[in-house]
């Protein structure tokens, strides 16, 4: 067992199971997540016998950083896992803080046609500890705190649901990494039953939906998941989610040249989202070597934006961070493994 797999309640249960007081879990959390110890020997306020027991029972192993690509306001990290698999995270320095994009799986089974990770298929789920320690190592490298987390790296978070929810509990915990739940966003390609489950999750976490098309005909071509959960079912689930949580939803929309970027698409999208408490994040596509989709022209992106705006849809164009470094989902991992 790895200690970073345990949320606070689970660690309290552990202490009770070894006949210790459960407040020790909070004490230990501070050492793990605030003081960021690398050995149990650094702990000064827990007695020796317990430390020895911890050493026996719970490993402190983290993922390890094998490569960092640095640009002005973005770092991309490649991590190695204990079974030699690789995952990646991207750190973006905004004026409002440090935002990290983390992976949730090794590879991905959703098979989106434009996505490098989808091309590679899923190897396995990440463990909670593998998600949490990505953050610990990046904070250490930055020598400052991460303030925002988006689960938008490699993988489909709702395909590894329980792990991702536990990850959120740990990073949000006041004794853990203290990342405010409103600063955490989970992005899904639209696994409808999990959207219903997520609306019951008692943390004020944001939800983003990778929509990328205004209708089934186009979405079916680029996102196979749409054949299982078509667009109208996603929209019904989102309306229910908003009713239940009162939170605004983000729709991500990558601009793919001649696929989903026409004026007709912009009009259809405006109609689809009319009256929904949401905003659209237009994402210029990051082209990737092995996939033939192209990024839309700037004037086309601007036109698309203007049409949404005119139709009273809140919309932003995502600021570009990582196109010089390999920042599109899965590119760094692919480069490493296909050498």
The one among 126, 156, 170, 192 contacting ligand SAH by CB under 6 A: 156
Instruction: Answer for the pair 88, 103: CB distance below 8 angstroms, yes or no.
Output: yes
Instruction: Answer for the pair 254, 289: CB distance below 8 angstroms, yes or no.
Output: no
DSSP bridge pairs for 88: 78
Residues between 266 and 285 that touch ligand SAH (CB under 6 A): 283, 285
Smallest gap from Cβ 54 to ligand SAH, in A, equals 35
Smallest gap from Cβ 141 to ligand SAH, in A, equals 22
Smallest gap from Cβ 238 to ligand SAH, in A, equals 14
One DSSP character per residue, 232-250 reads HHHHHHHHHHHHHH--PEE
The answer to the question of residue 286 lying near ligand SAH (CB under 6 A) is yes
DSSP bridge pairs for 80: 64, 86
Contacting range for ligand SAH; rule: CB under 6 A; set: 79-87, 89-97, 184-192, 242-250? 184-192
SS3 313: coil
Among the listed residues 108, 112, 115, 329, the single catalytic one is 329
Q: Is 20 a catalytic residue?
A: no
CB atoms under 10 Å from CB of 39, counted, come to 9
The answer to the question of residue 254 lying near ligand SAH (CB under 6 A) is yes
33/253 with CB nearer ligand SAH: 253
SS3 135: helix
The answer to the question of residue 226 lying near ligand SAH (CB under 6 A) is no
58/102 with CB nearer ligand SAH: 102
| Backbone φ/ψ region at 244: left (φ over 0), alpha (ψ -120 to 50), beta | alpha
Q: Is 329 a catalytic residue?
A: yes
153/176 with CB nearer ligand SAH: 153
Nearest to 207 by CA among 147, 277, 106: 277
Smallest gap from Cβ 36 to ligand SAH, in A, equals 27
Smallest gap from Cβ 116 to ligand SAH, in A, equals 6
The answer to the question of residue 222 lying near ligand SAH (CB under 6 A) is no
**In whole angstroms, what is the distance from residue 324 CA to residue 18 CA?**
51
Contacting range for ligand SAH; rule: CB under 6 A; set: 7-15, 85-93, 112-120, 307-315? 112-120
One DSSP character per residue, 253-301 reads EEEBTTTT-SHHHHHHHHHHHTT-SEEEEEEE----TT----BPPHHHH
Among the listed residues 12, 88, 130, 156, the single catalytic one is 88
The answer to the question of residue 250 lying near ligand SAH (CB under 6 A) is no
The one among 146, 152, 231, 307 contacting ligand SAH by CB under 6 A: 152
Smallest gap from Cβ 3 to ligand SAH, in A, equals 27
What letters, b where the CB count within 10 A reaches 16 and e where it falls short, cover 96-135? eebbbbbbbbbbbebbbebbbbbbbebeebbbbbbbbbbb
Instruction: Answer for the pair 333, 88: CB distance below 8 angstroms, yes or no.
Output: yes
54/74 with CB nearer ligand SAH: 74
6/212 with CB nearer ligand SAH: 212
**In whole angstroms, what is the distance from residue 160 CA to residue 188 CA?**
11
24/122 with CB nearer ligand SAH: 122
Instruction: Answer for the pair 67, 78: CB distance below 8 angstroms, yes or no.
Output: yes
- Interface residues with ligand SAH (CB under 6 A) are 110, 112, 114-115, 152, 156, 187-189, 210, 252, 254, 283, 285-286, 288, 328-329
Catalytic residues: 88, 329
């Amino acid at each position: 067992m790895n200690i970073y797999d345990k949320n606070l309640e689970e660690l309290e249960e552990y202490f009770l199971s070894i006949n210790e007081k459960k407040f020790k879990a909070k004490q230990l959390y501070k050492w793990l997540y605030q003081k960021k110890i690398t050995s149990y020997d650094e702990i000064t306020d827990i007695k020796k016998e317990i430390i020895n027991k911890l050493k026996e029972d719970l490993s402190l192993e983290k993922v390890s950083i094998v490569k960092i690509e640095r640009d002005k306001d973005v770092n991309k990290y490649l991590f190695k896992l204990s079974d030699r698999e690789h995952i990646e995270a991207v750190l973006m320095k905004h004026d409002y803080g440090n935002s990290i994009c983390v992976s949730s799986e090794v590879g991905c089974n959703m098979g989106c046609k434009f996505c490098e990770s989808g091309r590679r298929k899923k190897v396995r789920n990440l463990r909670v500890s593998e998600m949490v320690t990505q953050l610990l190592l990046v904070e250490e490298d930055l020598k400052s705190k991460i303030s925002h987390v988006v689960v938008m790296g490699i993988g489909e978070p709702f395909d590894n649901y329980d792990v991702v929810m536990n990850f959120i509990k740990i990073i949000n915990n006041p004794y853990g990494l203290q990342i405010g739940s409103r600063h955490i966003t989970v992005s899904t390609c639209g696994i409808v039953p999990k959207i219903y489950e997520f609306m019951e999750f008692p943390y004020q976490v944001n939800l983003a939906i990778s929509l990328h098309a205004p209708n089934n005909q186009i979405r079916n071509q680029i996102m196979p998941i749409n054949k299982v959960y078509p667009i109208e079912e996603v929209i019904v689930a989102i309306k229910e989610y908003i009713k239940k949580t009162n939170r605004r939803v983000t729709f991500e929309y990558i601009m793919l040249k001649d696929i989903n970027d026409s004026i007709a698409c912009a009009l259809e999208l405006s109609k689809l989202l009319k009256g929904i408490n949401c905003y659209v994040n237009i994402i210029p596509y990051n082209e990737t070597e092995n996939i033939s989709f192209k990024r839309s022209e700037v004037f086309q992106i601007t036109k698309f934006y203007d049409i949404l705006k005119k139709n009273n849809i809140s919309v932003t164009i995502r600021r570009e961070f990582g196109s010089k470094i390999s920042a599109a989902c899965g590119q760094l991992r692919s480069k490493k493994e296909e050498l």
